[in-house]
Structures are given as structure tokens and as C-alpha cells.
A = this chain, B = another copy of it.
């Protein structure tokens, strides 16, 4: 049996009782590392907090391992209980559908333990979840690669008056271009897109396209560390959010569509005029 277990968004205590019980049953525990470095303290304390809670060692699986070596894990799961831990929900922003498909093809039973992900926890800002359109991902621009297909999607959402959740790029364990050329991988330091960078890129793309989809006065909500003890939520026009220091990652951004009065009341609590607010 392969258990794919969501850890939630905040810290080690966001696991469910069901998830914890499953881990305790498993002979091997893998954890995907590439979005989980921060909240779960993997960079500083190693895995100690989690391993202490679970009472067993964790094998940290980076992106390469998950994508290339998953078959080893799946083979183990054919004859034993194996846990694969995922930050957020197993089918949240980072999907693990591919792993499930591979497991099913190998005849491995899969059990999913759900948890919160940014896709539903974003509701904390007060904008109703059913009033969101398609979610977009904003990738880091480079000198030569400035993809902007999100612009068309945001345009469609705004035409319909819907909110847009923008997921911001995460770059963990990216090999340097130089190291790839040399054939021995050396990794870039991790990078997490800030709300400031996201807005700058959004405004650049608006300037290039010029279709007046949004501008620096467009109402947005910036959210940092959703679900964590020190989460920060600030609502305001893009140009104001550019001036806010949202602190450590992860950040995400909502471009506000048409609002109901109740949604407006909630946004007022998070407005810059009143100072930044936590909830």
C-alpha cells in the first residue's frame, strides 16, 4: 500500500490523526522536499521535528527522485506499507497524479490522506472560493524566457468578474546552467517568487499587451505563509502591495474580481490603510 499523505500548510502539527496513524504503520517514509523546505524546518533542523513526531526516519525525495526513481518506492509499496508525504494536499497546487497513475499501473494500492492546500486555504482572505476562475502560475522571468500565457487567463477571469489565484514560482534544486554544460550537477540556491516580483512581472506583461486587463490600481490580496502562525494578509491596489514587505516565503497573490458586500468587509480588515493584519 502506498499512502500519499498531505501535511497541510503550516508546521508538523498540521498533519491529521489519520495521516499520523498511517505513517506509524509504514515501514518506509518518503517526503517530497521541493516545496517543503521552509515551514517544516527542513533546512535548519534537518528533519528532527518531523522524525521525532513520527518516531521513524524520513527519506527526503527531491524532484529528481520523485520523477525518476519513483519506481523503487512503488516496488517497495507492492509488498509493504510505504508513506509519501506531501506539503499541502496530495492533489493541491503541486499535483501527484502522475505518481498515482504509475502506482495503479503497477497494481499498487493507493490511499490518499487529504489535508489543506493553498487552493482552499486561500478562502481565509474572505473572497468566496466558488467565485474564483482558473488558477494561474507566474514563472520567474529570465532574460530570454518571459512566458505570459497567464495574461490571457487573467483576462478571461476578469471579464467574468472572477477572482484569480496566482501561484508564484518556486525554484528548488535547479541545476545551474554552467553545471549542466559540465555534466556534473551543481544546484542554484532555492528561489521563491515574492509578491513584489509577481506584481512587477504582471505590470510588465500588461504594458506589453496593453489590453487594460488590470493596472497598478487593480485591487489585489497578497498572502504570505498561508496557514502558518505568522501568516500575513494585505489587501490593496497593486501599487500599494508593491511597497509591503511580506517577509519569508511562500507568497501568493489574488487579483480581485467583482465583490459582494461581505467580501468587501473582509478585505477592509486586511486593507493597508488600517495597517497590515493577521488572521
Chain A interface residues (CB < 8 Å from chain B): 6, 8-18, 20-21, 89-93, 95, 97-98, 100-101, 104, 110-112, 114-117, 119-124, 126, 128-137, 156, 160, 162, 167, 227, 262-263, 265-266, 269, 279
Distance (Å) between the CB of A91 and the closest chain B CB? Answer: 3
Distance (Å) between the CB of A275 and the closest chain B CB? Answer: 14
CB <8 Å contact, B16 and A21? no
Distance (Å) between the CB of A170 and the closest chain B CB? Answer: 15
Complex: how many Å from CA A121 to CA B98? 16
Decide yes or no: A115 and B16 within 8 Å by CB, A120-B92, A129-B91, A134-B132 being known contacts: yes
Decide yes or no: A124 and B16 within 8 Å by CB, A97-B262, A134-B130 being known contacts: no
The contact of A89 among B14, B20, B120, by CB within 8 Å, is B120
- Enumerate chain B residues within 8 angstroms of A16, measured Cβ to Cβ: 8, 13-17, 115
State the oligomeric state as a number of copies: 2
With A91-B124, A119-B123, A132-B134 given, name 14 new contacts (CB 8 A): A8-B114, A9-B114, A13-B21, A16-B17, A91-B121, A92-B120, A95-B129, A97-B266, A101-B266, A110-B279, A114-B124, A117-B120, A130-B134, A134-B162
CB <8 Å contact, B89 and A116? yes
- Enumerate chain B residues within 8 angstroms of A122, measured Cβ to Cβ: 91
The contact of A133 among B91, B112, B133, by CB within 8 Å, is B133
Decide yes or no: A89 and B121 within 8 Å by CB, A262-B98, A279-B110 being known contacts: yes
